[in-house]
A and B are shown apart, each in its own frame.
Chain A
Amino acid sequence: MSELDKIQTIMVDTFKDLADQLGQAEPFECKDEMILFGAGATLDSLTLVSLVVDLESRISDEWGREISLTDDRAMTRAVSPFDTFISLKTYINELVTEK
């Protein structure tokens, strides 16, 4: 399984758990273009917190090192990792594959 496939699985699982926690009848669709935060977004601010904290924990466990999704690097990118599902997935891939 490639790193991107692993990340995709972790993200889909995390969104599934998030939907359960929120008591949502419908799961999140987890399409690449799903907007996470900003105009037309899927998440409110508290749900975004849950997503980020849960993802950090799962990714850190999977790759055996501390990974932060909200450090300065994430916050100052031209394209925010939290714009869409694919931008977050791409950012996580950068973090886990860098030496």
Chain B
Amino acid sequence: MITLTGKFITLKPMTIEHAEFVVKMRNLEHARFVNRGSATVEQQIDWIKSRPSNEINWMIYFQDQVIGQISLYTISEQHKTAEAGRLMLSPDIPKGYPISFEAILLVNTYAFYELKLNKVYGIVGSMNTGALKLNDFIKMKREGVLREHFIFDYICQDCICFGILRDEFIKVQEPFLKKVINLNKY
């Protein structure tokens, strides 16, 4: 079980103790674009217990308080790739802190330097404008469109594929995220 520590936040492995928090967060209006997932705490406990060995789900802690989650999944040793996502933050996260940027930096640093992956990627529904903006902001490359890949609100939605290669992370994303995090004057 891997804990990742940054300047402002700590990522701790998700356990069944977090099931209630996750269910509550996923059912809030602001998480409407995330796959519905477990409806009850019991289902969420089962989901956590059944996680395969090729994924890591972390809870985001700020000053000893859990405020969100983020994951690295479909980790492929063969292809040296993984999907990053499932980023969700509680609506009452503290303002002014670079929480989402640091969470992404910690996960991608782990993916590229510890797991020695070659690529991290993600798939975002075209209706999820917040996630699209975030991926553009953090210098993920748009790689293509999966046409009518999701059904959301009974309507087929395209999905945008984002990806970043190891070299791009080292040269572009990592320094950018560090600069954004260091803008913070706390």
Contact = CB atoms under 8 A, between A and B. Distances in A.
Contact of B94 (A44, A53, A72, A75): A44
A56 B12 CA distance: 35
B89 A41 contact: no
B137 A70 contact: yes
B97 A44 contact: yes
A50 B136 CA distance: 10
Contacts of A80: 183
A44 B93 contact: yes
Contacts of A82: 183
Contacts of B133: 49-50, 53-54
Interface stretch (B50-58, B98-106, B119-127, B145-153): B98-106
Interface string B25-51: 000010000000000000000000000
Interface string A60-99: 0000000000101001100010110000000000000000
B179 interface: yes
Given A46-B130, A49-B137, A35 B96 contact: yes
Contacts of A40: 96
B184 A50 contact: no
Contact of A41 (B96, B101, B176, B180): B96
Nearest to A72: B179
A interface: dominant SS: loop
Nearest to A77: B183
Interface string A13-36: 000000000010000000000010
13 contacts: A37-B183, A39-B185, A41-B95, A44-B95, A44-B99, A45-B97, A45-B98, A45-B99, A49-B133, A53-B133, A53-B136, A70-B176, A75-B180
Given A45-B101, A82-B183, A50 B95 contact: no
A38 B96 CA distance: 4
B154 interface: no
B134 A44 contact: no
A70 B176 CA distance: 9
A23 B28 CA distance: 13
B135 to A, nearest CB: 10
